[in-house]
Amino acid sequence: MAKIIKKTMQMNQDYIDRLRHIFGVRTDTEAVNKAMEMALIDEEIISAHKRMRGKGEVIEEVFR
């Protein structure tokens, strides 16, 4: 299980409100955690695509 810690940060509330709407969650914490999760997933996808070294046409076809 992930280690949960408390942080005090200054964040853009407009961004958090938009994230809450996009992800359909109730709390700011849920919104920020989901956004971080999505960023990490995106990074994994980008890294996998780079490892394919130009063989990404197949991957791109899936997303069209």
Average pLDDT, the chain: 85
Q: Check residue 10 and give its pLDDT.
A: 97
Q: Check residue 48 and give its pLDDT.
A: 76
Q: For residue range 30-52, what is the model confidence (pLDDT) as tens digits?
A: 999 999 999 888 887 777 777 77
Q: Check residue 35 and give its pLDDT.
A: 94
Contact 31, 46 (CB under 8 A): no
Span 20-27, mean pLDDT? Answer: 97
Percent of the chain with pLDDT over 70: 83
Q: Check residue 29 and give its pLDDT.
A: 95
The domain spans of the chain are 13-62
